[in-house]
Structure 1
Amino acid sequence: MSMIEICVEGFEEALAAEAAGAERVELCAALSEGGITPSIAQIRLAKARCAIPVFVIIRPRGGDFLYTDGEFDAILEDIAAAKAAGADGVVIGFLTEEGCIDIARTREAVATARPMGVTCHRAFDMTRDPDEAIDDLIACGVDRVLSSGQRASARDGIDILKGMIKRADGRIIVMVCGDPDPTLLFDGPVDPKAVDFHFGATGYGESPMRFRNPHVFMGKGDDQREYIRRVLDGAAIAERAERLRRLVIS
């Protein structure tokens, strides 16, 4: 059966996602940056309090996926720390300057991560050739790849996604993101065991702070973002998870 993974920021969102029907979470910090490595405390608390698998994004910064040697050293240390904290898996991605999967670094990261599961994140969507990238990830031993078909949404990338699933041929799980809709994918003989679904559902709420200093801003702008908080939309997650389960036949 396809798995439903929810992208969350922090262990409290992980708990809310589990309550809403998530079967796995991708634990992140700073989703406004596309997700970076969460603190070790967040990993430990997520593992202590969640009953579902916790995969941890390992990404030292926002931006591209071409890392310095120092950044890669930190990535390996973060993978080891996540494993020691009990994480079920890690989410990684490394590219070369030419837009290919960095095979040497991916293999080293996978070896460091085992026996945890390993997902390649949407660094895949930045590669120059999806067929080449799929083959490289399989050769590196990666378990699944997150993708919206190298487009902004799964609907726009549907042809590439279908090609990925066909090329993977059960050797790697394709985890569809970008507003995934299984009705777009399952119009032919596709094995649901070869496809997972990944999404998030968040909004923003007002901070409960009553006193607000109008002269100081923690960011670079003056938009008062200090007083806006992310809120996981559990109802939206539950509704979409149920719809996915109805549409995908085990």
Structure 2
Amino acid sequence: MSKVLEVCVDSLESAVAALNGGADRLELCCSLIEGGLTPTPGMLIQIQNINSRNIPVFCLLRCRPGNFIYAQEEVEVMKEDARILRKHGADGFVFGALSENGDANMKICREIIKVCHPLPVTFHRAFDFCRRPTIEVEVIIDLGFQRILTSGKQKTAQLGVKLIKKLIEQVGNRIVIMPGGGVNKDNLKFILENTDATEVHGSFRTVKDEPEAEKPDEECEVVVGKINEPLYITDETAVAEIVNILKSV
């Protein structure tokens, strides 16, 4: 059975690199520096225009940074975003919501899934904040999600292989458990061998070399962004290396 590589991208340049590197699916967001937020329709349209292999593009639904405990007004924002992104070619969505007690918020998840249906929805790494992962995975299955992105409640998927493997054994073929978090060419084989995962997720980013920006005039009162803040983009070579490893395992 061939293994699937999902690459998380937050720019057109990163999407091009992921596509050229051989990614099987994109998770599209914006502002990965904040953990990823809902992408713009314009970004989705442009990526689908260059998506010559027609690989699936799943859009993140996350209206703000911070925790995954949402007010109803925020849910309405994400539902509207989902409707708009569907119209512009989204192939699926990535979403997660929690209750204050650390359980999956069933009411909110049902609302989002209803808007996204019949497109597939992934429960993202909000899962790693669930207090009872082996119980919540059953709830997430019943809610109708198709996959769960998780680092096994650890800083990286490499450190979380024990729980990831346990979850994969528990769910069988009822849902896909997809390791994500710090996946790279050096630990991928270890993760696969210790979890039997069929899909993996990563951003595989590197710092883009850019010419030094001109400094603003001393009298300038407003400076947008940080002049020397590095720009991270997906590394096409790193994606290709991961693809080759997946083919060889």
Match of 1:217 in 2: 223
In the aligned structure 2, how far is the partner of 1:141 from the partner of 1:182? 30
What is the CA-CA distance between 1:203 and the residue it aligns to? 1.8
Instruction: Name the residue aligned to 2:156.
Output: 153
Correspondences of 1:190-229 after superposition (within 5 Å): 190=196, 195-208=198-211, 211-213=214-216, 215=218, 217-219=223-225, 224-225=227-228, 228-229=230-231
Letter in structure 2 aligned against 1:20: G
Question: 1:35 and 1:66 mapped to 2: Cα distance?
Answer: 16
Check if 1:115 corresponds to 2:122: no
Name the counterpart of 1:237: 239
- Aligned residue in 1 for 2:37: 36
- Give me the CA root mean square deviation: 1.8
Question: Which fold has the larger relative contact order, with Cα–Cα distance below 8 Å and residues 6 or more apart in sequence?
Answer: 2
Residues in 1 aligned to 2:141 and 2:208: alpha-carbon distance in whole angstroms: 41
For residue 100 of structure 2, what is the aligned residue in structure 1?
Answer: 97
Deviation at 1:214, TM superposition (A): 5.8
- Calculate the TM-score normalised by the size of structure 1: 0.89
Q: Partner of 1:23 in structure 2?
A: 24
The number of equivalent residue pairs is 239
Tell me how far apart the structure 1 counterparts of residues 148 and 213 of structure 2 sit (CA, whole Å). 44
3-state SS in 2 of match to 1:225: coil
CA distance in 2, matches of 1:79, 1:165: 29
Partner of 1:86: 89
- Separation of aligned partners in 2, 1:160 and 1:63: 25
Superposition map of 1:33-72 within 5 A:
33-50=34-51, 51-72=54-75
Amino acid aligned to 1:38: P
- Shift in CA distance, 5/218, structure 1 to aligned 2, threshold 3 Å: same
Give 5+ residue unaligned stretches, structure 2: none
Asked whether the 8 Å contact 2:161–2:194 carries over to 1, the reply is no
Q: CA deviation at 1:185?
A: 4.0
Q: How far, CA to CA, are the matches of 2:125 and 2:178 in structure 1? A: 10
Partner-residue secondary structure (3-state), 1:6: strand
Identity level (%)? 32
Structure 1 equivalent of residue 6 of structure 2: 5
TM-score of the two chains, using structure 2 as the length reference:
0.89
Unaligned segments of structure 1, at least 5 residues: none
**Deviation (angstroms), 1:15:** 1.8
| Change beyond 3 A, Cα 1:205–1:183 | closer
Which residue identity is paired with 1:29? Answer: C
Cα pair distance change 1:117/1:31, threshold 3 Å: same
